[in-house]
Amino acid sequence: MKLEVNQLVSFVALGLLGWASMQVYQMNAQLTVTSYKVEENYNMIKPMWQDFLVRSARYNEHQQNIHSVPGIQASRGNQ
């Protein structure tokens, strides 16, 4: 049985094409899992982030009230 170069090249190309398609399939599966994990992580962190923003806004508002100068001016008597 004699193997021609054309058949050998076709066999190698078919093997590479099969390997590449398996790699794309595995990459798609990993991407789907990663996407799911990121979505779940986002859903877990979102309430904590919102709470942090509310607390930061309250803290900043409180700090501004502490350091603000009162609008009352002292007088020196009957002047």
Read off the pLDDT of residues 20-53 as tens digits, 9 standing for 90 and up. Answer: 999 999 999 999 999 999 999 999 999 999 999 9
22-30 contacts, C-beta under 8 A, 24 or more apart: none
Note the pTM of the prediction, 2 decimals: 0.50
- The pLDDT-based confidence of 79 (bands split at 50, 70, 90) is low
| Separation of alpha carbons 59 and 50, rounded Å | 14
Is pLDDT at 69 greater than 60 in this prediction? no
d(CA 57, CA 50): 11
